[in-house]
Structure 1
Amino acid sequence: MVFRIVSRVRELFRVMRDLPSDDSIRRRTLAINAQLAKLQEARLAQEKFREEAALQEVHAIVSQMTQLKESLTAAEQAAVEFVDQLGDQATVQLEDEWNKKAETLMTTVAKTQERLGADLPQLSNDSVLDSKNKTK
């Protein structure tokens, strides 16, 4: 009973001060709460969208990094093969040069021996044998 009287007095003061009624305040509070809930849902949806976009971007970056790694690995392998080929070619070229130099040297030695042999008097086998026998 006291509660009813207090409620009526409060309602009277609201009317006199031109304040909204309890029902109006409740409706407004419910509307504000509903609007707040919608805003929170929208904020959560935006956060989820941003997270998904960021995750997709990270996946794209990881994919690009993987492709770059594969490309670099292939480039390294190609460089190693190229260097090996250059080394093989250089080895073959050096061997050819050394063989040519050795051949030239052998030819020079052979020509020098021929000239020396032509300059020396020919010794017969008998004189060579005689000189050997004398030394014995």
Structure 2
Amino acid sequence: MDRIDLQVDVPLLSYDEIVCTATPHNDHYSTSNIRQRVEQALLFKQERTKNDKPNGLLTVQEVKATCQLTKEAEDFMREIFEHLQLSMRGYHKILKVARTIADLNGHDLIEEEDIAEAVGYRLGK
């Protein structure tokens, strides 16, 4: 089996962000900024699906209907599925988390970067 690189290109926090010396207007991780981002994601999701059901509670049929992937994301998910030897349960869990990440990023379709971030959380990286 070919080895795939599961390296995720997620921007790292700067030293100033870690020690809280970043300027207040650049604090992307403040409670108010995160609250605003989550509220926007919930509105985006509600407009996209017309329901309030959390992505984590989607049934298998709902996952198939709402977790649509770009071609690149689908190819990447196939590699992940085979490389990690995922069960169907694990596959659906990654899709649900990726759908939430896509909502936070304002993506109608789940993109490769959304899958990569979800897999990173699953692997604890």
With the length of structure 2 as denominator, give the TM-score of the two structures: 0.19
Which of the pair has more CA radius of gyration?
1
Q: Normalized per residue, which structure has more helix?
A: 1
- The structure with higher relative contact order (CA 8 Å, sep 6+) is 2
TM-score normalized by the length of structure 1: 0.17
